[in-house]
Structure 1
Amino acid sequence: MNFFFSGNSINRKFSNSLFVIALFPFLSTIFSACRSNNVKVDNELKQHFNKYGAVGCFGMFDNSRGKYTVYNIERFRERYSPASTFKIANALIAMQSGKVRDDSVIIQWDGVQRANEAWNRDMSLYQAFRVSAVPAFQQIAKLIGRDTMQFWLDSLKYGNMKIGPAVDSFWLDQSLQISADEQLGLVKKLYFKQLPFRASVQESVKKMMIQENNSAYQLAFKTGWGTTPSGKPLAWVVGWMEENRHTYPFVLNFEVDASKESEIPEIRKQLLKDILIDLGFYKGRM
């Protein structure tokens, strides 16, 4: 079995069998349906993480060519709290189970004033997703209930599938954990409506995720902001890029020092853009 990786050193030096053996468990997870030469390990992307003092990983699937690009394989396989990226699954489960009829259903504000003013009002499921309203999705999780939630976590094989002691915070308190590898698989299936939910439900969540949509490209994602098991600030971006009718699901995961926590929203935005530009996007040639 021959592996063909790119990157300054990997494509020249690591074709030996020990490297293949070390990577095989990873490849069998995310790339089980792919040939080994369809995986590109791009360690040049490290420069973008270094620019922001971040440690992380990135993965993307080029659907038209059946190729994967991955940076930092070791971290890519490690599980972390999904934080607000779990709202993707939470919204899917809510609508599929009928606890929330559709994305226009109004979720009542509990009257508690919070620092994020966008959360302090009644809002639809669509609006709650767009502003990542934690209290609204905590209410939704309670409506879904532990048994139904567990059924769907198991059905999706969502990370470690653990709810923990509280059904309204398990995606925030380190109970539930998922890897970037698994996140990429989930968003890829969502895009192509291959998850075990009604097509209309998956389409609704896809629309919630669209951030930019123009004649040149579509960029869609859900962000997350939590902590690592060691307590460091953690960030996620999970979504896809469309360009020239080609689709590229991706996942970005990184952590920073506590001193940079307040900068996460801007770092998250700029780091993703830097990576996408490096990979050739925004030029209309992908």
Structure 2
Amino acid sequence: ENSFIAWNGETYPFEAWNADQTLQSAMNSSVNWYFQTVDEQLGASDVYSYVQKIGYGNENMSGDFSSYWMESSLEISPIEQVELLTKLQNNSFGFAPENINAVKDAIRLSFSDTGTLYGKTGTGRVNGQDVNGWFIGYIETADNTYFFATNISADSDATGGNATEITMSILSDMNIWVSQK
């Protein structure tokens, strides 16, 4: 709940980044400076301890501390993403429930009579080209919880937005989630 971080006035390439942020707004707009600030406040050893505690991918943070998760040393597979989301949804980490709920609230995208959609996009950029697109999440319905992770790679146009379109099309085809028109 106490996730507010004031914008430092630096001009960033995305308009949504040029404002004060909370966990919700930073997740929604993938505001890198927000998460870099949180990491700096925690310190490298605490961040690494959390990465190990949750078993995040290869747990390799040897890259630059300000960008270890951005097309750098920290890597995760789609299967590992789904396993991590399952543990988050069930709070298998032993974190305080209010903190788990804050993260869940921050990734809640929409809800309808069908259920609730949670998700997060990611786009990996190298040399100005979008080469790695992610959309991960889950859908809670009255009968089930469906977890998903879509990762696309290409020389360009591999964005989180494109991964989202692919995922939503599949979920619709499977009658798991029908987007509201």
Which bracket does the TM-score occupy, shorter chain normalised?
A: 0.7 to 0.9
CA displacement at 1:265 relative to structure 2: 4.7
- 8 A Cα contact 2:52 2:59, kept in partner: yes
CA displacement at 1:227 relative to structure 2: 4.9
> Which structure has more RCO (C-alpha within 8 Å, separation ≥ 6)?
1
Q: Distance in 2 between matches of 1:241 and 1:213?
A: 9
Aligned length: 176
Q: Distance in 2 between matches of 1:196 and 1:251?
A: 23
Unaligned segments of structure 2, at least 5 residues: none
Q: Report the equivalent of 2:91.
A: 193
CA displacement at 1:246 relative to structure 2: 1.4
CA displacement at 1:266 relative to structure 2: 4.1
- Relative to total residues, which structure has the larger helix share, 1 or 2? 1
- 8 A Cα contact 2:7 2:20, kept in partner: yes
SS of the residue corresponding to residue 164 of structure 1 reads: coil
2:40 aligned with 1:145, yes or no?
no
Note the aligned Cα RMSD (angstroms).
2.0
After superposing the two structures, state which structure 1 stretch, 241-250 or 131-140, moved more: 241-250
CA displacement at 1:216 relative to structure 2: 2.0
2:172 aligned with 1:274, yes or no?
no
Structure 1 residues 265 and 105: alpha-carbon distance in aligned structure 2, compared to 1, 3 A threshold: closer
Matching residue within 158, 161, 186 for 2:56: 158
The residue type equivalent to 2:122 in the other structure is: G
After superposition, what is the alpha-carbon deviation per residue over 1:197-238, rounded to whole angstroms, capped at 9, x for unaligned? 11211111011111111222211101111158xx87111111
The residue type equivalent to 1:278 in the other structure is: D
Q: Distance in 2 between matches of 1:232 and 1:105?
A: 29
Q: Distance in 2 between matches of 1:203 and 1:177?
A: 25
CA displacement at 1:174 relative to structure 2: 1.4
Q: Distance in 1 between matches of 2:125 and 2:93?
A: 28
Q: Distance in 2 between matches of 1:189 and 1:116?
A: 32
List aligned pairs for 1:134-283, cutoff 5 A.
Answer: 134-227=32-125, 233-258=131-156, 260-261=157-158, 264-282=159-177
Query: TM-score, normalising length from structure 2?
Result: 0.88
CA displacement at 1:176 relative to structure 2: 0.6
The residue type equivalent to 1:193 in the other structure is: N
CA displacement at 1:138 relative to structure 2: 0.8
The residue type equivalent to 2:103 in the other structure is: V
- 8 A Cα contact 1:237 1:253, kept in partner: yes
Identity fraction in percent: 27
SS of the residue corresponding to residue 127 of structure 1 reads: helix
Q: Distance in 2 between matches of 1:234 and 1:265?
A: 8
Larger radius of gyration: 1
- 8 A Cα contact 1:193 1:203, kept in partner: no
CA displacement at 1:269 relative to structure 2: 2.7
Unaligned segments of structure 1, at least 5 residues: 1-101
The residue type equivalent to 2:55 in the other structure is: K
SS of the residue corresponding to residue 118 of structure 2 reads: strand
Moved over 3 A (4+): none
